[in-house]
Amino acid sequence: MASNLEDAELQRRNLVADVAHELRTPVSNIQGYLEALKDGLLQPDGATIATIHGQVIHLSHLVEDLRLLAQAEAGALKLNRTPGRMQDVLRVCVEAVRPRAEAKGITLNLEAVDLMPMVEMDGTRISQVVNNLLENAIIHTPDGGSITVSVGYSGTTGSEMVRVAVADSGPGIQSEDLARVFDRFFRADPSRARATGGVGLGLTIAKQLVEVHGGTIHVESIIPKGVRFVFELPVTPPYNPA
């Protein structure tokens, strides 16, 4: 028990330090710009205002991610579950990021069939899971690479699971990092992630949202390179292929 309490206290301290670190950067940037404006070193032109606004948006997203994560981990996140088609959710998410993928020359594929079991889910939250996985894939897939989103289902009657996979052709994840990719603020490449504006919460949030739906999520290495994120959700009982 003493060991568990010590581990919990260490995790709490690390979390507080991580949150403080992530909040400090945008706050310091905003403060620096405002002080420069106050001292007359910068002019309040469109470019300066746009930069400050971008930092505020970044800060707002971070705070919202932390709030969502705290609710999910505390079991206080309310879900609006309704029977839905996973392939419809995936199509909307894929088309939303297609322009970004094409700008990098990334081939974005969706492998889905129309005849699939219905899933009882909060469509908004599951869209957030898929968006986070796609965002991660686009960031780490090099120009000219590929991303494939696929959906299928398996299991016996009464325990069917819909399975979604997001696979990329990026550099992959070191074996020692595979177990940590869902940790809060974890970055396999800290400098690259910060350059893209990520704070290391997207995959953590995805994991929490999948688990509150009664599902599971994991990551797999792809040989010779790349990774595949896979999550599974229980289908709506009773089985209904329509």
Q: What is the DSSP string of 49-66?
A: HHHHHHHHHHHHHHHHHH
- Residue 213, phi then psi, degrees to nearest 5: -85, 0
Q: What pLDDT is attached to residue 28?
A: 85
Residue-level pLDDT at 195? 42
CB 145, CB 165: distance < 8 Å = no
Nearest Cα neighbor of 164 from 110, 95, 108 is 110
Question: Using an 8 Å Cβ cutoff, are 200 and 193 in contact?
Answer: yes
CB atoms within 10 A of CB 115: 7
Integer Cα distance of 118 and 217 in angstroms: 19
pLDDT attached to residue 132: 92
Go through the chain and tell me how many residues it has: 242
Helix ranges (DSSP H) in the chain: 2-38, 46-73, 86-103, 123-140, 190-195, 202-212
What's phi and psi for 223, nearest 5 deg?
Answer: -90, 135
Residues 6+ apart with CB under 8 A from 89: 123, 126, 127, 130
Q: Judge whether 201 and 185 are in contact, CB under 8 Å.
A: yes
Q: Are 167 and 156 in contact (CB under 8 A)?
A: no
Please give the pLDDT value at position 98: 93
Residue 235 DSSP label: B
Q: Sort strands 107-111 and 146-154 into parallel, antiparallel or unpaired.
A: parallel
Q: Please give the chain's pLDDT, 242 residues, in tens.
A: 666 566 556 555 666 666 676 677 788 888 988 999 989 888 889 888 888 888 888 788 778 878 887 778 777 788 889 999 999 999 999 999 999 999 999 999 999 877 788 899 999 999 999 999 999 999 999 999 999 999 998 766 557 889 999 999 998 888 777 878 888 777 665 544 444 445 568 888 899 999 999 999 999 988 778 999 999 999 875 545 54
